[in-house]
Amino acid sequence: MKPLAIGDEIFQHLAGRWALQILLSLRKGPMRFVDLRRAIPGVSANTLTTRLRELEAARLIERRLLPPPAAVQVYGLGGLGQGLRPSLEHLDSWRAELPALVLDRDPGTMKNDACS
């Protein structure tokens, strides 16, 4: 597979519903399924399971089994997902600033000030 095709495939995974919310949640560290579900309001268990499997297959996240007595599965950023950590941090900062940015504009406009 060509490098560009691999990148396009990864971008398709990132564009999938709930993918960014999952990755943003996991950027702080490994989480159990139940904790991920609580961190992402509105996602169903079936959908979260499907997305986790897709992101794991794309090597953006990894699933590990903790040793006994815990013996639970946790999800964390995988090899490719670790490379996204700085971008995820930036996106999360932008997300936190977004309400102020949107409220600071004239109604009905979402034009970027840097482009005008």
Q: What is the pLDDT of residues 104-116, one digit of tens each?
A: 665 555 555 555 4
pLDDT value, residue 105: 67
Q: What is the mean pLDDT of residues 36-62?
A: 94
pTM over 0.85: no
Per-residue confidence band for 45, with pLDDT thresholds at 50, 70 and 90: very high
Q: For the chain, what is the mean pLDDT?
A: 83
Q: What percent of the chain has pLDDT over 70?
A: 79
pLDDT value, residue 49: 96
From residue 58, give the alpha-carbon distance in Å to each of 29, 62, 82, 85, 97. Answer: 19, 10, 13, 16, 30
Q: What is the dihedral of CA 76, 81, 86, 91, to 10 degrees?
A: -90
pLDDT value, residue 2: 64
Q: What is the pLDDT of residues 93-103, one digit of tens each?
A: 888 888 887 77
Cβ burial, residue 50 (10 Å; 0-12/13-18/19+): middle
The correct answer on CATH 3.30.420.10 for the domain covering 3-102 is no
Domain chopping of the chain, boundaries: 3-102
Checking DSSP bridges between strand 73-77 and strand 61-65, what pairing results, if any? antiparallel
